[in-house]
Structure 1
Amino acid sequence: MGITSADVARESGVSRTTVSYVLTGRDGVHISEETRRRVRETAVRLGYAPSAAARALRTGRSDLVLCILPDWPVGPVIETLLDELADELSGRGLSVLVHHGRGQRSLTDLWRAVTPRAVIGFAPFAEEDLHAMRQAGIQVLGTRGEEHQPDPALPSETQLEIGALQVRHLAARGRRRLGYAWPADPRLEVFARDRLLGVRRACAALGLPDPVVLPVALDAPAAATSVRRWRGQGVDAVAAYNDDVALAVLAGLRAEGLSCPEDCGVVGVDDIPAARLAAPPLTTVSQSIELQARFLAALVLADLDGSAEKPGHPGHGLHLVERESA
């Protein structure tokens, strides 16, 4: 069994209540500085760590912010968002717990077990889950801070704009027959669908033909097959679902003995670190992930402080990063 507050109290020669007051920083309780020092030093010497479960029972809340991810592949963008969010919240003693929506465990079982201070959903919650968490006094947020969950059947304006940015950039550089590189991973379909819709709408608005849509797996031989099919239909530029898919397209072009951007321009999405190191360096759409993390943290902290005024959404900060591939 681990070290408990009773062990700290016995070694310090004080009551467990005093240990609790000292280690939780309780205000309004008169305890001498000498006693506080002795309790803290004893806790460090014994290796005592307060129980998160006990703290949750005592206060009705833990120091956890629970992030619910659907069954998505986790790449550099999600990793960066979660890392930045954890950094922003750590200064207030809050920790980020990430749950991937895989397996059969119900969301209700999960939040009841950890009693989070806030839950951030990266996809809409079921109405019954949303109601139950709010009834329990848990702050529930979407990634835009919505009071109401968005309708998943409606296209995301952000994803539409990503596709439009890709097309406008390519069209401004004289590209007239576009391909769209669809991701091979079916878990990404919800994003790819809306980005492709944005590409199609932008092509129509600019008087360009509908894009030639082909799946691109993340290996050079498969990508080369798609490149051959695009070239056979006169495609002179490709808007890729994301940077990983765009890098596969670049590999496919090389395998076919073609040059980028001379024979075919390529634009990705996300501005991952590898985009700068590609050959040629990859033109891409940045989503300013750090900005989104700061906004989510600000929402959680506004609730923690009891602020009636919530931070406004800063927008997604989408912008095109121009490099040599387009």
Structure 2
Amino acid sequence: MSRKVSIQTLADQLGLSKYAVSRALSGKTGVSESTRARVLELARALGYRQNTPGSSGAPTAADQSEPPFALICMNQLNRGEPHYWQRVLSGMISGCNERGWHHAIVSPSLGTGDEHTPPERAIAPHLDWERCAGVIVMGAFPHAVLQRLAQTGRPIVLADHQEPLLNCDTISHDNLEAGITVVRYLLSLQSRRIGLITDDGRAASFAQRKIGMELALNHFHTGQGHTATFREWNVPYEQGEWVNQLAKEIMQMPEDERPDAWIGVNDDIALQWMNKLQEIGISTPQDCRVIGIDNVHSAATSSPPLTTVNLCKEELGQRAIEALQRRIERPGTPKETVMLATSLIPRESA
């Protein structure tokens, strides 16, 4: 008796996932036309026969009428944030729609007893995991959550977060480049005392931007043998009182020691600080320059308009979905880290 040809057989010979082979055989979306052609050609050559309803074979993804979905893991704190994460999410949803995929959004947080629960039930017990094409993780999550996601066996793509211990693809902005850019720009304007307002530990992107700033200060001189000084203020970003506390500290400093240029590690911090400076009688850009990173919509309409570094937020989301499709179709390829380039947008604040 000849050996039965299964979806797993086709997947193994083509170096594809069972999901990709199943979608190709059923004529559904979610795989490229070139991949579909490869699958169909091998299936014909090996004499593969697909199970039909009522047959004794186990049901596969190809037997299901519902399209697959991408599971999007989004931190609960970021769900209502319109300037950055909602725009990244809109790019992901657009990418899913282009492929005929659905999407499901969850905010996983594991309890103490979850280690004895199957990972699918611990993360999202209400979902039909048979239709889950893969997982997109937006931003930072505890390593324990990422490990449980990996245990589901679905391909994972990290968006704007890096986890070296997890073997998965990563799509990020080049935050190091953004940090270098803002400092080099301020140095070109002859700024000598640069202040950074950040929130250590809140996000890996903040830390990467600060490293870029330090690299720029260490490697690029302002000319005539002088280098700029750099001072960091670490503030509790999500607590509004930091603005008043920092303003009080700055007013107690001698004028010749105050920064003549301020960097907000993101636009929201930069905009809040620029408004506060104006309240206490320090104008921008006459008395000091202010620059941010993100290019949120309100940066262009502030008074004065905020100089910033543009991050392609919708594109980040779309590229994450592209990476997930690639991983589905080519599961054995080396993991990838894709960095999206940034660009300076000079405006009146600096």
> Which residue of the partner structure matches residue 285 of structure 1?
309
Q: Which amino acid aligns with 1:255?
A: E
Could you tell me how far apart the structure 1 residues matched to 2:183 and 2:295 are?
Answer: 17
Pick one of 91, 100, 124 that aligns with 1:93: 100
Q: Residues 238 and 267 of structure 1: is their aligned pair in 2 closer, same or farther, counting only changes over 3 Å?
A: same
TM-score (norm 1): 0.68
TM-superposition CA deviations, 1:171-213 (whole Å, max 9, x none): 1111010111124xx7725433332232223222233223242
5 Å matches for 1:131-280?
A: 131-134=150-153, 138-143=154-159, 149=165, 158-183=174-199, 188-206=202-220, 207-215=227-235, 218=240, 221-222=244-245, 224-225=247-248, 227-228=250-251, 232=255, 233-280=257-304
SS at match of 1:271: coil
Deviates more, 1:96-105 or 1:111-120: 96-105
In structure 2, the gaps of 5 or more residues are 1-25, 28-58, 221-226
Tell me if 1:80 matches 2:100. Answer: no
Does structure 1 retain, via aligned residues, the 8 Å contact 2:250–2:258? no
Deviates more, 1:105-114 or 1:273-282: 105-114
Q: Which amino acid aligns with 1:203?
A: L
5 Å matches for 1:101-140?
A: 101-102=108-109, 104=111, 108=120, 109-111=122-124, 113-114=126-127, 115=129, 116-122=132-138, 123=140, 125-126=143-144, 128-134=147-153, 138-140=154-156
Q: Residues 86 and 231 of structure 1: is their aligned pair in 2 closer, same or farther, counting only changes over 3 Å?
A: farther
Higher relative CO (CA 8 A, sep ≥ 6), structure 1 or 2?
2
Could you tell me how far apart the structure 2 residues matched to 1:230 and 1:272 are?
Answer: 31
Could you tell me how far apart the structure 2 residues matched to 1:149 and 1:273 are?
Answer: 35
TM-superposition CA deviations, 1:41-86 (whole Å, max 9, x none): xxxxxxxxxxxxx998964996221122346545211110101110
Does structure 1 retain, via aligned residues, the 8 Å contact 2:291–2:307? yes
Does structure 2 retain, via aligned residues, the 8 Å contact 1:224–1:251? no
Q: How many residues align?
A: 266
Could you tell me how far apart the structure 1 residues matched to 2:61 and 2:106 are?
Answer: 19
Could you tell me how far apart the structure 1 residues matched to 2:319 and 2:85 are?
Answer: 15
Identical residues among aligned pairs (%): 20
Q: Residues 294 and 160 of structure 1: is their aligned pair in 2 closer, same or farther, counting only changes over 3 Å?
A: same
Could you tell me how far apart the structure 2 residues matched to 1:303 and 1:214 are?
Answer: 39
SS at match of 2:269: helix
Does structure 2 retain, via aligned residues, the 8 Å contact 1:283–1:325? yes
Could you tell me how far apart the structure 2 residues matched to 1:62 and 1:210 are?
Answer: 53
Tell me if 1:68 matches 2:73. Answer: yes
Q: Residues 150 and 263 of structure 1: is their aligned pair in 2 closer, same or farther, counting only changes over 3 Å?
A: farther
Q: Which amino acid aligns with 1:178?
A: I
Return the offset for 1:98.
2.1
5 Å matches for 1:54-65?
A: 59=64, 63-65=68-70
SS at match of 1:282: coil
Deviates more, 1:165-174 or 1:96-105: 96-105
Return the offset for 1:286.
1.2
Q: Residues 193 and 231 of structure 1: is their aligned pair in 2 closer, same or farther, counting only changes over 3 Å?
A: farther
TM-superposition CA deviations, 1:209-251 (whole Å, max 9, x none): 2324252654664453354356642310011011110111111
User: RMSD in angstroms over aligned alpha carbons?
Assistant: 3.8
Could you tell me how far apart the structure 2 residues matched to 1:59 and 1:230 are?
Answer: 68
Pick one of 305, 317, 322 that aligns with 2:341: 317
Return the offset for 1:169.
1.0
In structure 1, the gaps of 5 or more residues are 1-25, 28-53
SS at match of 1:210: strand
Does structure 1 retain, via aligned residues, the 8 Å contact 2:196–2:230? no
Deviates more, 1:172-181 or 1:193-202: 193-202
In terms of fraction of residues, the more helix-rich structure is: 1
Does structure 2 retain, via aligned residues, the 8 Å contact 1:218–1:244? no
